[in-house]
Amino acid sequence: MPPPVRYAQSGGLQIAYQITGSKPVDLVWTTGASSNLDLFWEQPLFIRLFERLASFSRFIIFDKRGTGLSDRPDHLATLEERIDDIRAVMDAAGSERAHILGVSEGGSMAILFAATYPQRTRSLILHGTMPRWSWAPDWPWGEKQAENEEFWRDRAKHDFEIDFAGQTWREWAGDELWDDAAFCEWWARFRRSGGTPAARKALDDMNLLLDVRPVLPAIQTPTLVTIRENDPVAPLDAVRTYSAQIPNATLKVFRGRGHLLGGVWDEWATAVEEFITGNTRVVPTNRFLATLAAADIVGSTQLIARIGDRAWRDTPLRLRRRQNDRTRDSRRNTHGGDRACWDCRPGNGCPHCLSHQRARPPRRGTRVQHSPRSRRRFGL
C-alpha cells in the first residue's frame, strides 16, 4: 500500500511528500521534471526501487512546487525558492540531516542545497543530471534557446503527446523499457499528471537559466555521481567534467543506454546503499550447476508425421537417472526428443525442467547423448 501523502508549507505553498521505511538514516529524493506521488506507486519499477531504498533508509520523496500533488506558484520560481522545498519537507518530516538524492532536473536543486546547507546534508547523490542545462561556449552539452523553442512548437503541434515509436523515446527510455506497452501507457499518464503543458514549459524555461557550476567546489560532503553509459539527457563527458569539480566525489558508470534506470535499478540501489551505509550488500543469486543430457528417438520425425503432435505429446520419453537423494531429474517434451537435468535441487526452478518425475529405463530405439560432465559422472 502506498504511504500517505502529507504536506509541508514552503513560501505559502503546500508541498506534497511521502515517507517510506523506518531506518535510522534519512534519504531525500528530489525528483526530475515529471513527478506525481500517487502514480509512482502504480508502476512496478518505481515500487521495487522505492521499497529497495526504504530497506536501508527512511525514504522521503516529494513533488516539487508546480508538479504533481503540490501547489502551483504564481510566478517563475527561482532555484533558491525551490530548494526551500527540500528544507520545508525535511522540517515537516522531522529530519535534521539527510542524504540528498537529486535525479535529472532535481540534481540542480540537490547541488545548491548541499552547498547552501552543509550542516543538514550527510551526503549528496546525483543521477542523470547536469549543473547547467543550456548551451554555453564553455559548456557544449546543453540545449540552445532556438532548439528549445522549436521543441515546444513541435510538441504543441502533436498535442504534447510522446512519440513512443520514435528514436528519441527509445534512447531516452532505454532498451529495457522503450517497447514495454504497459510502461509507455503509464508514462504518458504520469507525465500528464505531473504538470500541465504550461507548467512543464515554465519549469523548462527556468532550467535553461540555471548554472550551479560555481558552487560545485563548495560542496564539502561526500558525493556519489552516477550515470548510464549512454544517457541522452546527461552525456557521460559532461558528467565526468562536472563531477571532477566536486571535492570528495566518486563517479560510478552503469551499463546500457537510457535516462531511466530500467534494467540497472537494483545495481544502482546497491551502489547507493553501499555509499550511504558503508556496508557491502550480498546480492542473492539463483545460479546453480546442472548437467544436461539430450535424447532423440530414432525415426521420431516420421512417427510424428504419422501419429500427429497430440498423440506424440501423450507418448513421453522416460529417461533413467541414478539414485541420489540430493538431486532429482526432470524432462521436457519436444518435437523429436527430450531433455533431462540430473543436477537440479528441489526448489531451484530449473528453466530446463517443466516437471520432476522419477525416470524409468529408456525404451528400445532411443539414443541418449550425454554431456562430457555426465560421461565422467556416470562412468561412460
Q: At residue 236, what are phi and psi to the nearest 5 degrees? A: -60, -40
C-alpha cell recorded at residue 187: 508514462
- The Cα 278–Cα 275 span in angstroms is 6
Strands 58-62 and 98-103, bridge-based pairing: unpaired
As a whole number, the mean pLDDT across the chain is 82
**Alpha-carbon distances, residue 23 vs 14, 170, 206, 273 (angstroms):** 26, 37, 35, 12
The SS3 of residue 378 is helix
Asked if residues 128 and 259 have their Cβ atoms less than 8 Å apart, the reply is: yes
| Domain regions of the chain by residue span | 6-277, 292-378
Q: Convert the pLDDT of each residue in 141-197 to its tens digit.
A: 988 988 888 988 988 888 888 889 999 999 999 999 999 999 999 999 999 998 888
The conformation of residue 278, written as its DSSP 8-state character, comes to: -
Q: Convert the pLDDT of each residue in 62-108 to its tens digit.
A: 999 989 999 998 887 888 999 999 999 999 999 999 999 999 999 99
Q: What's the one-letter identity of residue 197? A: P
Q: What's the one-letter identity of residue 129? A: T
C-alpha cell recorded at residue 188: 504518458
Q: What's the one-letter identity of residue 371? A: S
Residue 328 banded pLDDT, cuts 50, 70, 90: very low
**Stretch 295-303: mean pLDDT, rounded?**
65
Q: Convert the pLDDT of each residue in 271-289 to its tens digit.
A: 999 999 998 776 555 666 6
Question: Taking the C-alpha atoms of 28, 260, 266 and 110 in order, what is their torsion angle to the nearest 10 degrees?
Answer: -20
Please report the pLDDT score of residue 308 as a whole number. 62
In the predicted structure, residue 232 carries a pLDDT above the cut 70: yes
The SS3 of residue 26 is strand
In the predicted structure, residue 355 carries a pLDDT above the cut 80: no
Who contacts 287 (Cβ-Cβ below 8 Å, separation ≥6)? none
Q: CATH assignment of 6-277?
A: 3.40.50.1820
Contacts by residues 144-149 (CB-CB < 8 Å, ≥ 24 positions apart): 145/208, 148/204, 148/208
